[in-house]
Structure 1
């Protein structure tokens, strides 16, 4: 990308990746977009909850109006689809008021992000509203940097190495197969969405 990173000048809505958790890892572009916004939207798992993305960006959310968007953390597809449609409707209603909005996203806004589904809903049902996306530091990049900073040099990938970023499998057998395939192809494997799976994933990785 020779020309560098530029926002759409006419965009009234900006999706902002706020990084993996440390407010110091927000980009300059992210901080500037939040500061300019009249409304800050962010995901919450349940009504009244504090969203992680909003917590990360809290130092720069001062006078802006808050717009929490309910993104239920459930496996069933129907509630999630309904939530994304509702979020798109709420954002479009704010855009009708000629408000400048940001939608905060944990990590990067384009990598396994719930906000990406809202982006697709807006593009499909409200194409009249241009959207800009500000990338954020991913958990994968942050983990590699943290390891190297602790004296364990860990470049994510070198030269001709492949890099596979994917959600953690749901079973030990599936993980073991994935590890075998990655080893056979000299592919670096980065697992996301560990959660409670870490209890059985850790012994597999250490075996």
Structure 2
């Protein structure tokens, strides 16, 4: 079924302040939350956040912890770390229904609901799937989005690494599954003056590093893991040994520079 381009007007009373706000909380450092994000969290009656399994703590909730109070209702939503379609759809639909019910309850108290999202709410985000599920299942629900700092931007800042200059393109995508696919991507990027941001590096670093070394790109790549957390690592790819990296790790690869530079 086609999705509506935008949410229609809310079916709640027009003077009701209750709403659902999807809040990007950045990659890890609480100081990177925007003023809008902090204000939305502080004003909420219910603070929802994703968890990978029941009873687990959420990374997004940990980032936003300085602004969550004991008086607020904390609502963990299960988003399993699986690749099968059926359990993912079930989780997104359940989250949409739970959030819609929370908004209606908050309406009676004159409050609002927020859903926290690590990084940005629109970039490889679980909240994007919840948004699409809400459009299908609760199209009259009022929803707003507050963007957050992405791990790509935070890593570039931590490494003093210009992401894109002048007429360059920036390509952000998950790390390919095979060396052959990465070779083809690097060839494309080199031909088109594209800077690559490869997310979800993880266990692939064991074969990605030797491939970069073979192509002479180790000194032109920035490795970053757990950006914004106390144990973050941001360094030249050359100094990072091959092996499995955390799921929340990424690479920035620049194969050329513009002709006009300082």
Aligned to 2:234: none
Aligned to 1:96: 104
Measure how far apart 1:200 and its partner are: 2.1
1:46-125 alignment runs, 5 A limit: 46-62=53-69, 63-97=71-105, 98=107, 99-125=111-137
1:136-151 alignment runs, 5 A limit: 136-148=148-160
Measure how far apart 1:204 and its partner are: 2.2
| C-alpha separation in 2, matches of 1:191 and 1:11 | 38
Alpha-carbon contact 1:156-1:188 (below 8 Å) kept: yes
Measure how far apart 1:127 and its partner are: 1.3
Q: Confirm or deny that 1:174 pairs with 2:186.
A: no
Alpha-carbon contact 1:10-1:130 (below 8 Å) kept: no
Measure how far apart 1:171 and its partner are: 1.1
Q: What are the superposed Cα offsets for residues 153-183 of structure 1, whole Å, 9 maximum, x if unpaired?
A: x211011101100111111111111111101
For the pair shown, the structure with the greater C-alpha radius of gyration is 2
Further displaced range: 98-107 or 83-92:
98-107
Aligned length: 194
Measure how far apart 1:14 and its partner are: 0.3
Unaligned runs of 5+ in 1: 1-8, 149-153
User: Whose helix fraction is larger, Structure 1's or Structure 2's?
Assistant: 1
| C-alpha separation in 2, matches of 1:11 and 1:190 | 38
Q: State TM-score, norm by structure 1.
A: 0.90
Alpha-carbon contact 1:11-1:132 (below 8 Å) kept: no
What secondary structure is seen at the aligned counterpart in 2 of 1:57? helix
Alpha-carbon contact 2:18-2:113 (below 8 Å) kept: no
- For the aligned residues, what is the CA RMSD? 1.3
Measure how far apart 1:76 and its partner are: 0.8
